[in-house]
Amino acid sequence: MLILVMNCGSSSVKFAVLDPQNPSEVPLSGLFERVGSVGVGHAGASATIKRGSEKREQALVGGQYADAFALIRAELDAMGLSAKLGAVGHRVVHGGAVFNAPARITPAVLAAIRQCIPLAPLHNPANVAGIEAALEAFPKLPQVAVFDTAFHQTMPPAAYRYAVPERWYTQHGVRRYGFHGTSHGFVAERAAEMLGQPLDNLNLITAHLGNGCSVCAVAGGKSLDTSMGLTPLDGLMMGTRSGDVDPGLHEYMNRQAGLSVEEVTATLNKQSGLLGVSGLTNDMRDLEAAAATNEKARLALEMFVYRLARAIAQMAVALGRVDGLVFTGGIGENSDYVRAATLKRLQVLGFELDDEANKVAVRGQSGRITRAGSPAALVVNTNEELAIARETAALVGEN
Ligand code: ADP
């Protein structure tokens, strides 16, 4: 059975059609950019369609989600694959405290996802728009929502509560939710396979380092703590996001510079992190290249690594015993520099880098990068599309 996996963001929509039993082949995938929200088409919308290894770009006439689904359907028809499509799996960013697992989409589930919009005002509206358009485009297919937050619902209260008045929690849901759950869960399973041990017995720290970055303490396959919180702005330094800052910062910048709450938040989301400190780029590749000659780029790198190592040590406290550390995401999978510098800082936890293995583990090579006798550190390739397809197939199969 083929699953259509949809990842509808605020300005772009990514999709992939794949068979979770045969993940090495992705017959159809693509990206839509500048797609309008429901009812508002964009003239400049474009589509990049990949059939196997063949790639082409075209305008997306109409520019709405419905047009994107019509194009996917036409591609599947042309490839003779429409009859094999069995379900649609949607990535949904925020499931609040309502969803601790993927959910088959029903009117009640859609309403609950809408209710989480205040918690993720940038992401959940696009997810909802994508689901609504998919229900119209594929009315006969079962559809499933897979939440970024669900994996972290196993965190204990000591990890997920903030030290704020209880009524903020009970009335407004102010607590830590965590994100990137699909990826943390997927790479923890892969790491157990690579270590040849049952996931149930393992205490792992997973570091998902892409444009957004978070670490997670995974004990026996369950999240015990994570660095992202109420929103994906918390925790590690990221491409354009600040990670944690002093909670007094908003008021201070309001008094000193006359910035509104919204302006400070926007700056922390879009102009901070690697970009804000280097003044050059949010892209780790470019930053590493610039660091040879540019002091601000060097500082941004040093801060990224320092804060990452510190957050990993925090996760070690959550676990008590660490059996393995996993690097994943675009930076985790490709930057031997970030991995080496982070592990150097983590000698306090007993990690000893295997330099050769670390240099080899780039461009999609997974493997162990610490010496025998050291706790294991692994490079693992994440595959969120596959994880969503598997979860979707499992849920649809059961019903
Ligand atoms: P997203 O979170 O949007 O899915 P990715 O997981 O693809 O993003 O991660 C993007 C990040 O990975 C960027 O900072 C990019 O520079 C970094 N990256 C990709 N390849 C390399 C590389 N060879 N060396 C260092 N960083 C890399």
Question: Over the stretch 228-283, which tens digit does the pLDDT of each residue have?
Answer: 999 999 999 999 999 999 999 999 999 999 999 999 999 999 999 999 999 999 99
* Of 131, 147, 163, the domain-final residue: 147
* Of 147, 176, 210, the domain-final residue: 147
Helix (H, G, I), strand (E, B) or coil at 78: helix
Q: How many CA atoms lie within 13 A of 142 on its CB side?
A: 19
Report long-range pairs for 201-204 (Cβ below 8 Å, ≥24 apart).
201/323, 202/323, 202/324, 203/319, 203/320, 203/321, 203/322, 203/323, 203/324, 204/319, 204/322, 204/323, 204/324, 204/325, 204/326
* 232 shares its domain with 370: yes
* 369 shares its domain with 263: yes
Distances (CA, A) of 301 to 207, 294, 334, 338: 16, 11, 15, 8
> How remote is the CA of residue 140 from the centroid of ligand 1, in Å?
37
- Whether 360 and 333 have beta carbons less than 8 Å apart is answered as no
* Residue of the CA atom closest to atom 12 of ligand 1: 330
Ligand 1 pocket, 334 CB below 6 A? Answer: yes
**pLDDT bucket at 35, cuts 50 / 70 / 90:** confident
Helix (H, G, I), strand (E, B) or coil at 302: helix
- Whether 176 and 159 have beta carbons less than 8 Å apart is answered as yes
> How remote is the CA of residue 283 from the centroid of ligand 1, in Å?
7
Tokens of 281: 């780029």
> How remote is the CA of residue 285 from the centroid of ligand 1, in Å?
7
* Of 147, 163, 188, the domain-final residue: 147
Task: State the closest ligand 1 atom to the C-alpha of 338, by its place in the atom list counted from 1.
Answer: 25
CA distance 177 to 29: 30
Residue 158 lies in a domain: no
Is 70 exceeded by the pLDDT of residue 40? no
Instruction: Give per-residue pLDDT as tens, 134-146.
Output: 999 999 999 999 9
CA distance 177 to 393: 25
Q: What's residue 399's pLDDT? A: 46
Ligand 1 pocket, 12 CB below 6 A? Answer: no
- CATH number for the domain spanning 274: value is 3.30.420.40
Is 90 exceeded by the pLDDT of residue 38? no
* 136 shares its domain with 275: no
Sign of CA dihedral 96, 214, 389, 35: positive
Tokens of 113: 């996802």
**pLDDT bucket at 338, cuts 50 / 70 / 90:** very high
- Whether 183 and 212 have beta carbons less than 8 Å apart is answered as no
* 369 shares its domain with 249: yes
Q: What's residue 42's pLDDT? A: 63
Residue 294 lies in a domain: yes
Strands (E), 38-187: 46-51, 54-59, 85-92, 103-104, 143-147
- Residue 363: CB atoms within 10 A of its CB come to 7
Residue 46 lies in a domain: yes
Percent pLDDT > 90 in the chain is 91
pTM to 2 decimals?
0.95
Residue type, 325: L
Helix (H, G, I), strand (E, B) or coil at 382: coil
* 215 shares its domain with 139: no
Catalytic residue at 354?
Answer: no
Ligand 1 pocket, 211 CB below 6 A? Answer: yes
Report the candidate in 290, 282, 291, 280 with the shortest Cα–Cα distance to residue 210.
Answer: 282
| Helix (H) or strand (E) segment spanning residue 212 | none
Instruction: Give the domain range for residue 367.
Output: 197-384
Pocket probe mutation, ligand 1, options 93, 228, 331, 342, max atoms within 8 Å of Cβ: 331
Q: What's residue 10's pLDDT? A: 75
Q: What's residue 41's pLDDT? A: 57
Residues paired with 376 in a beta bridge: 324
Report the candidate in 299, 329, 126 with the shortest Cα–Cα distance to residue 211.
Answer: 329
Q: What is the mean predicted confidence (pLDDT) over 92-121?
A: 96
Residue 169 lies in a domain: no
| Helix (H) or strand (E) segment spanning residue 367 | strand 367-368
- Whether 278 and 290 have beta carbons less than 8 Å apart is answered as yes
What are the φ/ψ torsions at residue 322 (nearest 5 degrees)? -115, 120
Q: How many domains is the chain partitioned into structurally?
A: 2
CA distance 322 to 319: 7
* 135 shares its domain with 201: no
Q: What is the mean predicted confidence (pLDDT) over 82-93?
A: 97
Q: What's residue 37's pLDDT? A: 55
Ligand 1 pocket, 212 CB below 6 A? Answer: yes
Residue 349 lies in a domain: yes
Helix (H, G, I), strand (E, B) or coil at 133: helix
- Whether 103 and 144 have beta carbons less than 8 Å apart is answered as yes
* 98 shares its domain with 11: yes
What are the φ/ψ torsions at residue 370 (nearest 5 degrees)? -120, 160
* 131 shares its domain with 246: no
* 141 shares its domain with 21: yes
Residue 323 lies in a domain: yes
Q: What's residue 370's pLDDT? A: 97
* 136 shares its domain with 208: no
> How remote is the CA of residue 250 from the centroid of ligand 1, in Å?
30
**pLDDT bucket at 43, cuts 50 / 70 / 90:** low
* 107 shares its domain with 217: no
Residue 9 lies in a domain: yes
Pocket probe mutation, ligand 1, options 334, 337, 388, max atoms within 8 Å of Cβ: 334
Instruction: Give per-residue pLDDT as tens, 353-381.
Output: 999 999 987 767 789 999 999 999 999 99
Q: What is the mean predicted confidence (pLDDT) over 126-132?
A: 95
* 89 shares its domain with 208: no
